[in-house]
Amino acid sequence: MKKEDQLEEKNPIEDLLRMDRIPHIWCPGCGIGTVVTSFIEALKKSKLDLDKVVVVSGIGCTGRVAGYVKLDSFHTTHGRAVPFATGLKLANPELNVVVFSGDGDIAGIGGNHFIHAARRNMDITIICVNNFNYAMTGGQVAATTPLGANASTAPYGNFEFPFSLPYLADAAGATYIARWTALHLRRVTKSIQEALSRRGFSFIEVITPCVTLYARRNRLGDGLNLLKYYYDNSEIHHGADTRTLDISYQGKLVVGKFVDKEKPTFLDAMNEHLGKVLGDKYVLYGRINDDRD
């Protein structure tokens, strides 16, 4: 692994974990914990008031993240983390709301909420662990399973075209989009830090193969070897055209920061527009001194 991808200092992360809930439920060698570590690093490096950082998860292996971070955290229902986060953010714009959930949760059952939150440029950050399957329920085919890969409900191999999540996010209007693998520790950390500092809908996809189900079923090796395979087969291409980011079965993986732009958020647009149209009658809503860019 390249030096810049390793975490330089060993920051204690325990104070941001619910140690009274450890051991966690994740399998040995699962990459979700690695992504959580990067997330906590990012929080520590950010200058955010951590009392105002809220984590919302849906359901799934990744959905359990909300239960392990020592922040205000909500473990909601399958697919509804994004609208739940929307409610939190709109009701208290001072909150920094992070959705941490799986590919099935965010882009399968929650796909409609995902594209609409992106369209509205809802000021939230999404960290999506893409493990190419529905892991929690035993490795079923997902909207992200590469063509040809085997899954418990695609026992003859998957023949459905998968989503490319960065492309979907881009088309729907997200203002910050990045993709990494779980082993790009520092880059994931940096992207999360950047996303947290941006106003708008930020989306970070972290390719984190499920060692127990997806990898075993497809005979792809285990644990660190597997994570390393994806890491080694990834090419960093910042600013890549999001139309070119399809993931093929065991093929090359384009990673990087693809989109980083500015656009008024839902609340900015609401305040601006209604203020203009309604004049004095409008009661400015939740405008805060926001020192983020």
Nearest distance in Å: CB 104, ligand TPP: 3
**Token pair in block for residue 281:** 């009658």
Told to check if 213 binds ligand SF4 by CB under 6 A, we report: yes
What is the size of the binding site for Mg ion (CB under 5 A)? 5
What is the size of the binding site for ligand TPP (CB under 6 A)? 17
Classify 64 as helix, strand or coil.
helix
Q: How far apart are CA 191 and CA 256, in angstroms?
A: 9
For the chain, the farthest-separated pair of C-alpha atoms sits apart, in whole angstroms, at 65
| CA 281 to each of CA 93, 266, 286, 287: distance values in angstroms, whole numbers, following the listed order | 21, 20, 16, 16
φ, ψ of residue 176 in degrees (nearest 5): -140, 125
Pairing of strands 176-181, 253-260: antiparallel
Q: How far apart are CA 211 and CA 142, in angstroms?
A: 16
Nearest distance in Å: CB 166, another protein: 21
Told to check if 61 binds ligand SF4 by CB under 6 A, we report: yes
Pairing of strands 125-130, 72-75: unpaired
Residue 74 near residue 44 (C-beta atoms within 8 A): no
Task: Please identify, using beta-carbon distances, which residue of 169 and 213 lies nearer to ligand SF4.
Answer: 213
Residue 201 near residue 124 (C-beta atoms within 8 A): yes
Q: What count of other Cβ atoms lies within 10 Å of the Cβ of residue 15?
A: 11
Eight-class DSSP state of 104: I
104 binds, among ligand TPP, another protein, ligand SF4, none (CB under 5 to 8 A by kind): ligand TPP
Told to check if 62 binds ligand TPP by CB under 6 A, we report: yes
Among 73, 131, 145, 150, binds Mg ion (CB under 5 A): 131
- Binding residues (CB under 8 A) for another protein: these are 18, 20-21, 51-52, 54, 56, 59, 66-67, 70-77, 79-80, 82-92, 94-95, 112-113, 116, 266, 270, 274, 278, 281-283, 285-286
CA torsion sign for 226, 227, 228, 232 is: positive
95 binds, among Mg ion, ligand TPP, another protein, none (CB under 5 to 8 A by kind): another protein
32 binds, among Mg ion, ligand SF4, another protein, none (CB under 5 to 8 A by kind): ligand SF4
Told to check if 78 binds ligand TPP by CB under 6 A, we report: yes
Task: Please identify, using beta-carbon distances, which residue of 63 and 173 lies nearer to Mg ion.
Answer: 63
Q: Report the interface residues with ligand TPP, using CB under 6 A.
A: 59-62, 78, 102-105, 129, 131, 133-137, 142
Q: Report the interface residues with Mg ion, using CB under 5 A.
A: 102-104, 131, 135
Q: Report the interface residues with ligand SF4, using CB under 6 A.
A: 26-27, 30, 32, 61, 131, 135, 210-213
